[in-house]
Chains A and B, each alone.
Chain A
Protein backbone atom coordinates (compact mmCIF):
# COMPACT_ATOMS: atom_id res chain seq x y z
CA UNK A 1 0.00 0.00 0.00
CA UNK A 2 1.33 3.44 -0.90
CA UNK A 3 1.67 6.32 1.54
CA UNK A 4 -1.10 8.27 -0.18
CA UNK A 5 -3.42 5.25 0.04
CA UNK A 6 -2.67 5.01 3.76
CA UNK A 7 -3.42 8.71 4.11
CA UNK A 8 -6.67 8.32 2.19
CA UNK A 9 -7.74 5.55 4.51
CA UNK A 10 -6.92 7.75 7.49
CA UNK A 11 -8.81 10.77 6.15
CA UNK A 12 -11.77 9.13 4.41
CA UNK A 13 -13.70 6.98 6.83
CA UNK A 14 -16.18 4.27 5.88
CA UNK A 15 -19.07 6.48 6.91
CA UNK A 16 -17.72 9.26 4.65
CA UNK A 17 -17.57 6.78 1.78
CA UNK A 18 -21.14 5.82 2.58
CA UNK A 19 -22.46 9.36 1.93
CA UNK A 20 -20.88 9.67 -1.54
CA UNK A 21 -23.69 10.23 -4.05
CA UNK A 22 -26.36 10.81 -1.39
CA UNK A 23 -28.39 13.99 -1.11
CA UNK A 24 -27.28 15.45 2.21
CA UNK A 25 -29.41 18.52 2.35
CA UNK A 26 -32.36 20.05 0.56
CA UNK A 27 -33.48 23.57 1.30
CA UNK A 28 -36.20 25.80 -0.03
CA UNK A 29 -35.64 29.53 0.04
CA UNK A 30 -37.97 32.27 1.06
CA UNK A 31 -39.33 34.14 -1.99
CA UNK A 32 -36.47 36.23 -3.34
CA UNK A 33 -37.07 39.87 -2.50
CA UNK A 34 -36.02 42.92 -4.46
CA UNK A 35 -34.09 43.99 -1.39
CA UNK A 36 -32.10 40.71 -1.40
CA UNK A 37 -31.13 41.30 -5.03
CA UNK A 38 -30.21 44.95 -4.46
CA UNK A 39 -28.02 44.20 -1.46
CA UNK A 40 -26.21 41.37 -3.25
CA UNK A 41 -25.52 43.58 -6.26
CA UNK A 42 -24.34 46.48 -4.10
CA UNK A 43 -21.91 44.13 -2.29
CA UNK A 44 -20.40 42.50 -5.36
CA UNK A 45 -19.98 45.77 -7.27
CA UNK A 46 -18.74 47.75 -4.23
CA UNK A 47 -17.42 50.47 -4.13
CA UNK A 48 -19.07 51.43 -7.43
CA UNK A 49 -22.82 51.36 -7.91
CA UNK A 50 -24.21 48.22 -9.52
CA UNK A 51 -25.99 48.36 -12.87
CA UNK A 52 -29.41 50.02 -12.52
CA UNK A 53 -31.23 46.83 -13.53
CA UNK A 54 -30.25 45.28 -10.17
CA UNK A 55 -31.44 48.21 -8.03
CA UNK A 56 -34.54 49.44 -9.86
CA UNK A 57 -37.99 49.56 -8.26
CA UNK A 58 -38.85 45.98 -9.21
CA UNK A 59 -42.27 44.36 -8.95
CA UNK A 60 -42.96 45.89 -5.56
CA UNK A 61 -42.48 49.28 -7.16
CA UNK A 62 -44.83 48.55 -10.05
CA UNK A 63 -42.11 47.67 -12.53
CA UNK A 64 -40.81 44.40 -13.96
CA UNK A 65 -39.49 41.95 -11.33
CA UNK A 66 -35.78 42.37 -10.71
CA UNK A 67 -33.55 39.63 -12.11
CA UNK A 68 -30.80 38.51 -9.74
CA UNK A 69 -27.13 38.31 -10.70
CA UNK A 70 -26.42 34.75 -11.82
CA UNK A 71 -24.30 33.88 -8.78
CA UNK A 72 -26.84 35.26 -6.26
CA UNK A 73 -27.40 33.08 -3.16
CA UNK A 74 -31.09 32.89 -2.08
CA UNK A 75 -30.34 30.63 0.90
CA UNK A 76 -28.15 32.89 3.02
CA UNK A 77 -29.17 33.70 6.60
CA UNK A 78 -32.49 31.87 6.81
CA UNK A 79 -34.81 29.41 5.12
CA UNK A 80 -38.40 28.51 6.02
CA UNK A 81 -38.70 25.91 8.76
CA UNK A 82 -35.08 26.17 9.82
CA UNK A 83 -34.20 27.91 13.04
CA UNK A 84 -31.79 30.73 12.21
CA UNK A 85 -28.37 29.75 13.48
CA UNK A 86 -24.78 30.73 12.79
CA UNK A 87 -23.57 29.04 9.61
CA UNK A 88 -21.21 26.12 10.20
CA UNK A 89 -17.91 27.54 8.93
CA UNK A 90 -15.79 24.71 10.29
CA UNK A 91 -13.75 22.47 8.00
CA UNK A 92 -16.10 19.64 8.94
CA UNK A 93 -19.31 21.32 7.79
CA UNK A 94 -20.10 18.70 5.14
CA UNK A 95 -19.87 15.77 7.52
CA UNK A 96 -21.62 17.76 10.25
CA UNK A 97 -24.50 18.25 7.78
CA UNK A 98 -24.55 14.49 7.19
CA UNK A 99 -24.43 13.76 10.92
CA UNK A 100 -21.16 11.84 10.71
CA UNK A 101 -17.69 12.36 12.16
CA UNK A 102 -15.64 14.88 10.12
CA UNK A 103 -12.08 14.12 9.02
CA UNK A 104 -9.34 15.34 11.41
CA UNK A 105 -8.58 18.48 9.37
CA UNK A 106 -8.95 22.08 10.44
CA UNK A 107 -8.54 24.27 7.36
CA UNK A 108 -10.33 24.52 4.05
CA UNK A 109 -10.15 26.54 0.85
CA UNK A 110 -12.29 26.62 -2.25
CA UNK A 111 -10.44 24.73 -4.98
CA UNK A 112 -12.72 25.59 -7.86
CA UNK A 113 -16.26 25.45 -9.15
CA UNK A 114 -18.24 24.88 -12.31
CA UNK A 115 -21.53 26.76 -12.61
CA UNK A 116 -24.17 25.78 -15.17
CA UNK A 117 -27.00 28.28 -15.53
CA UNK A 118 -30.58 27.68 -16.62
CA UNK A 119 -33.41 30.17 -16.20
CA UNK A 120 -32.60 33.32 -14.23
CA UNK A 121 -33.69 33.92 -10.63
CA UNK A 122 -36.28 36.68 -10.41
CA UNK A 123 -37.85 38.66 -7.61
CA UNK A 124 -40.58 36.43 -6.11
CA UNK A 125 -38.99 33.12 -7.14
CA UNK A 126 -38.64 30.33 -4.59
CA UNK A 127 -35.55 28.19 -5.08
CA UNK A 128 -35.04 24.62 -3.91
CA UNK A 129 -31.68 22.88 -3.88
CA UNK A 130 -30.33 19.37 -3.45
CA UNK A 131 -26.77 19.19 -2.13
CA UNK A 132 -24.72 16.01 -2.34
CA UNK A 133 -21.12 14.85 -2.04
CA UNK A 134 -19.95 13.33 -5.31
CA UNK A 135 -16.62 11.98 -4.15
CA UNK A 136 -13.72 12.17 -1.74
CA UNK A 137 -10.08 11.79 -2.75
CA UNK A 138 -6.65 12.61 -1.33
CA UNK A 139 -3.80 14.44 -3.06
CA UNK A 140 -0.34 15.22 -1.81
CA UNK A 141 0.16 18.96 -1.35
CA UNK A 142 3.30 20.99 -0.61
CA UNK A 143 2.51 21.06 3.10
CA UNK A 144 0.98 17.61 3.43
CA UNK A 145 -2.03 15.60 2.35
CA UNK A 146 -5.04 17.42 0.95
CA UNK A 147 -8.54 16.01 1.20
CA UNK A 148 -10.42 16.91 -1.99
CA UNK A 149 -14.21 16.83 -1.73
CA UNK A 150 -16.33 17.21 -4.85
CA UNK A 151 -19.87 18.33 -4.14
CA UNK A 152 -22.85 18.98 -6.35
CA UNK A 153 -25.62 21.46 -5.73
CA UNK A 154 -28.65 21.50 -8.05
CA UNK A 155 -31.18 24.33 -7.92
CA UNK A 156 -34.68 24.56 -9.37
CA UNK A 157 -37.34 27.24 -9.09
CA UNK A 158 -40.97 26.90 -8.02
CA UNK A 159 -41.89 25.71 -11.53
CA UNK A 160 -39.27 22.97 -11.42
CA UNK A 161 -37.09 24.77 -13.98
CA UNK A 162 -33.35 24.30 -13.74
CA UNK A 163 -31.78 27.43 -12.30
CA UNK A 164 -28.22 26.48 -11.55
CA UNK A 165 -25.92 23.54 -10.90
CA UNK A 166 -22.66 23.93 -9.02
CA UNK A 167 -19.89 21.40 -8.99
CA UNK A 168 -17.43 22.47 -6.33
CA UNK A 169 -14.09 21.17 -5.15
CA UNK A 170 -13.31 21.82 -1.51
CA UNK A 171 -9.70 21.44 -0.41
CA UNK A 172 -9.11 20.57 3.25
CA UNK A 173 -5.83 20.23 5.10
Chain B
Protein backbone atom coordinates (compact mmCIF):
# COMPACT_ATOMS: atom_id res chain seq x y z
CA UNK B 1 0.00 0.00 0.00
CA UNK B 2 1.52 3.35 -0.96
CA UNK B 3 1.89 5.90 1.79
CA UNK B 4 -0.78 8.52 1.40
CA UNK B 5 -1.10 9.96 4.90
CA UNK B 6 1.83 11.55 6.68
CA UNK B 7 -0.23 13.81 8.88
CA UNK B 8 1.17 14.25 12.41
CA UNK B 9 -0.82 12.11 14.81
CA UNK B 10 -1.40 9.32 12.29
CA UNK B 11 -0.38 5.86 13.49
CA UNK B 12 1.62 3.51 11.30
CA UNK B 13 0.49 -0.15 11.12
CA UNK B 14 1.48 -2.15 14.18
CA UNK B 15 3.79 -5.18 14.16
CA UNK B 16 2.82 -8.04 16.49
CA UNK B 17 4.85 -11.07 17.57
CA UNK B 18 4.50 -13.79 20.22
CA UNK B 19 7.57 -14.21 22.44
CA UNK B 20 8.93 -17.67 23.06
CA UNK B 21 12.02 -19.79 22.59
CA UNK B 22 11.03 -20.54 18.98
CA UNK B 23 11.54 -16.89 18.05
CA UNK B 24 14.47 -16.26 20.40
CA UNK B 25 16.43 -19.33 19.32
CA UNK B 26 16.12 -18.34 15.68
CA UNK B 27 17.43 -14.89 16.46
CA UNK B 28 20.22 -16.29 18.64
CA UNK B 29 21.25 -18.43 15.70
CA UNK B 30 21.60 -15.54 13.24
CA UNK B 31 23.05 -13.03 15.71
CA UNK B 32 25.25 -15.53 17.61
CA UNK B 33 23.52 -14.33 20.77
CA UNK B 34 23.40 -17.34 23.03
CA UNK B 35 23.08 -15.51 26.34
CA UNK B 36 21.79 -17.66 29.23
CA UNK B 37 19.02 -15.21 30.27
CA UNK B 38 17.53 -15.61 26.77
CA UNK B 39 17.76 -19.40 26.80
CA UNK B 40 17.03 -20.61 30.29
CA UNK B 41 14.32 -19.66 32.79
CA UNK B 42 16.64 -20.43 35.72
CA UNK B 43 19.25 -17.99 34.39
CA UNK B 44 16.58 -15.32 34.01
CA UNK B 45 15.35 -15.87 37.58
CA UNK B 46 18.95 -15.73 38.82
CA UNK B 47 19.30 -12.33 37.15
CA UNK B 48 16.16 -11.03 38.88
CA UNK B 49 13.53 -11.63 36.20
CA UNK B 50 10.44 -13.88 36.30
CA UNK B 51 12.15 -16.27 33.84
CA UNK B 52 13.95 -16.10 30.54
CA UNK B 53 13.60 -12.76 28.78
CA UNK B 54 13.72 -11.79 25.13
CA UNK B 55 16.61 -10.12 23.36
CA UNK B 56 16.64 -6.34 23.13
CA UNK B 57 18.22 -6.71 19.69
CA UNK B 58 15.27 -8.76 18.44
CA UNK B 59 12.80 -6.22 19.82
CA UNK B 60 14.80 -3.59 17.98
CA UNK B 61 14.38 -5.60 14.79
CA UNK B 62 10.62 -5.59 15.38
CA UNK B 63 10.69 -1.78 15.49
CA UNK B 64 12.56 -1.78 12.19
CA UNK B 65 10.07 -4.29 10.75
CA UNK B 66 7.19 -1.95 11.61
CA UNK B 67 8.94 0.96 9.92
CA UNK B 68 9.83 -1.13 6.85
CA UNK B 69 6.30 -2.46 6.52
CA UNK B 70 4.96 1.09 6.52
CA UNK B 71 7.62 2.51 4.18
CA UNK B 72 7.56 -0.31 1.64
CA UNK B 73 9.70 0.81 -1.30
CA UNK B 74 8.91 4.45 -0.65
CA UNK B 75 11.76 5.50 1.54
CA UNK B 76 14.48 4.60 3.96
CA UNK B 77 15.20 4.53 7.67
CA UNK B 78 17.75 7.21 8.60
CA UNK B 79 17.86 7.02 12.37
CA UNK B 80 16.30 4.93 15.15
CA UNK B 81 16.70 5.46 18.87
CA UNK B 82 15.37 3.02 21.44
CA UNK B 83 15.24 2.89 25.20
CA UNK B 84 14.53 -0.40 26.92
CA UNK B 85 12.18 0.15 29.87
CA UNK B 86 11.22 -3.36 30.93
CA UNK B 87 12.14 -6.86 29.79
CA UNK B 88 9.79 -8.88 27.64
CA UNK B 89 8.81 -12.13 29.25
CA UNK B 90 8.43 -15.53 27.67
CA UNK B 91 4.85 -16.09 26.50
CA UNK B 92 4.02 -12.42 26.07
CA UNK B 93 2.73 -10.87 22.86
CA UNK B 94 4.59 -7.76 21.76
CA UNK B 95 3.00 -5.03 19.71
CA UNK B 96 5.20 -2.40 18.10
CA UNK B 97 3.38 0.83 17.38
CA UNK B 98 4.33 4.17 15.91
CA UNK B 99 2.81 7.59 15.51
CA UNK B 100 3.91 10.38 13.19
CA UNK B 101 5.21 13.34 15.15
CA UNK B 102 6.18 15.66 12.33
CA UNK B 103 6.71 15.72 8.57
CA UNK B 104 9.02 18.12 6.78
CA UNK B 105 8.45 18.34 3.05
CA UNK B 106 11.32 18.80 0.62
CA UNK B 107 11.38 19.05 -3.17
CA UNK B 108 10.92 15.33 -3.83
CA UNK B 109 10.97 13.74 -0.43
CA UNK B 110 9.70 14.12 3.08
CA UNK B 111 11.49 13.67 6.39
CA UNK B 112 9.16 12.09 8.91
CA UNK B 113 9.74 11.87 12.64
CA UNK B 114 7.95 8.93 14.25
CA UNK B 115 7.39 8.14 17.89
CA UNK B 116 7.81 4.41 18.50
CA UNK B 117 6.86 2.18 21.38
CA UNK B 118 6.42 -1.47 22.17
CA UNK B 119 3.85 -2.82 24.56
CA UNK B 120 3.02 -6.31 25.74
CA UNK B 121 -0.37 -7.97 26.12
CA UNK B 122 -0.47 -6.87 29.78
CA UNK B 123 -0.38 -3.26 28.66
CA UNK B 124 3.18 -2.63 29.83
CA UNK B 125 5.33 -0.33 27.69
CA UNK B 126 8.61 -2.18 27.26
CA UNK B 127 10.44 0.07 24.83
CA UNK B 128 10.08 3.51 23.44
CA UNK B 129 12.00 5.54 20.97
CA UNK B 130 11.94 7.63 17.86
CA UNK B 131 12.73 7.19 14.20
CA UNK B 132 13.61 9.55 11.41
CA UNK B 133 12.66 8.22 8.00
CA UNK B 134 12.82 9.65 4.52
CA UNK B 135 9.73 9.13 2.40
CA UNK B 136 9.86 9.49 -1.36
CA UNK B 137 7.39 8.81 -4.15
CA UNK B 138 4.70 10.34 -6.21
CA UNK B 139 2.11 10.21 -3.47
CA UNK B 140 4.33 12.26 -1.18
CA UNK B 141 5.04 14.80 -3.91
CA UNK B 142 1.31 14.93 -4.48
CA UNK B 143 0.73 15.65 -0.81
CA UNK B 144 3.32 18.40 -0.92
CA UNK B 145 1.70 19.92 -3.98
CA UNK B 146 -1.66 19.87 -2.27
CA UNK B 147 -0.18 21.55 0.77
CA UNK B 148 -0.70 18.61 3.13
> Residues on A close to B: CB < 8 A?
36, 39-40, 42-47, 51, 69-71, 73, 76-77, 86-87, 89, 107, 109-117, 120, 143
Contacts and interface: CB of A to CB of B under 8 A. Distances in A.
Contact of A117 (B32, B62, B76): B76
Q: What size tier do the contact residues of chain B reach?
A: 35 or more
Contacts of B33: 76, 87, 89
Nearest to B129: A112
Contacts of A43: 23, 26-27, 29-31
Which residue among A45, A51, A77 has the maximum number of chain B CB atoms within 10 Å of its CB? A45
A36 B78 CA distance: 23
Contacts of B17: 46
Contact of B65 (A44, A113, A117): A44
28 contacts: A39-B30, A40-B30, A42-B26, A43-B26, A43-B31, A44-B58, A44-B64, A46-B17, A46-B22, A47-B22, A51-B68, A69-B61, A69-B64, A69-B68, A70-B68, A71-B57, A76-B30, A77-B32, A87-B32, A89-B33, A89-B34, A89-B35, A110-B84, A112-B84, A113-B60, A114-B81, A115-B60, A117-B76
Given A44-B61, A51-B68, A70-B77, A111 B84 contact: yes
Contacts, number: 91
Given A47-B23, A116-B79, A117-B78, A109 B61 contact: no
Contacts of A86: 34
Contacts of B62: 44
Nearest to B79: A116
B32 A71 contact: no
A73 B81 contact: no
Contacts of A47: 18, 22-23
B89 to A, nearest CB: 14
